[in-house]
């Protein structure tokens, strides 16, 4: 959890200075980096605190509705996040990087799709679970 908190804190510091992303996150609350760290931890098999305290996957989808995110913004977000992971010396072993990059690619593309309108997902929708080299649960094959 500490590593994910470091990652999201530094990443969102960098976002505020990024020409493509700064406007997207201009109204970001101070606790946003920690919420994202909790979400990532849960998706990657860690504690379920995000679901317990913040409403799980449905809540995360809700946060992206009507934001009209673009694929250019998604690519910039991905690149900056992975650059930040390198900057902080997060593990670069193939298993960890495959898991986190796989989820971020899937999740960021889903965020772009969800951001185009106002249709959310049903309350109680299952949290994606991303394993090392496999997707678990209802999102298999998606």
Quickly tell me which residue has 């593990």 as its tokens.
Answer: 91
pLDDT 10s digits, 106-139: 889 989 988 988 876 667 778 888 876 555 555 4
- Give pTM, 2 decimals: 0.84
Does residue 21 form part of some domain?
A: yes
For residues 20 and 72, is the Cβ–Cβ distance under 8 A?
A: yes
The pLDDT, as a whole number, for residue 24 is 94
Angle (nearest 5°) at CA 103 between 78 and 26: 40
Residue 4 backbone class (left: φ over 0; alpha: ψ -120 to 50; beta: rest): alpha
User: For residue 91, what are the domain limits?
Assistant: 2-135
For residues 38, 39, 44, 47, the Cα torsion angle rounded to the nearest 10 degrees is 50
Query: Residue 142 falls within a domain, yes or no?
Result: no
CATH number, position 56: 1.10.490.10
Q: Residue 117: its pLDDT value, please?
A: 85
What is the per-residue pLDDT across 53-89, written as a single tens digit (0 to 9) for each? 988 878 787 888 888 999 999 999 999 999 999 999 9
| Residue 141 domain flag | no
Predicted pLDDT of residue 119: 77
- The answer as to whether 23 is a domain residue is yes
Is 32 among the domain residues? Answer: yes
Q: What radius of gyration, in Å, describes the C-alpha atoms of the chain? A: 14
What's the structural domain count of the chain?
1
């Amino acid at each position: 959890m500490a590593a994910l908190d470091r990652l999201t804190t530094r990443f969102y510091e960098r976002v505020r200075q990024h020409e493509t992303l700064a406007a997207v996150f201009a109204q970001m609350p101070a606790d946003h980096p920690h919420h994202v760290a909790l979400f990532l931890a849960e998706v990657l098999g860690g504690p379920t605190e995000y679901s317990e305290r913040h409403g799980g996957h449905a809540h995360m989808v809700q946060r992206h509705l009507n934001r009209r995110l673009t694929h250019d913004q998604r690519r910039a977000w991905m690149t900056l996040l992975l650059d930040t992971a390198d900057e902080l010396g997060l593990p670069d072993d193939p298993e960890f990087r495959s898991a986190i990059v796989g989820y971020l690619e899937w999740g960021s593309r889903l965020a772009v799709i969800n951001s185009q309108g106002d249709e959310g997902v049903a309350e109680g929708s299952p949290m994606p679970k991303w394993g090392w080299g496999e997707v678990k649960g209802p999102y298999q094959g998606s």
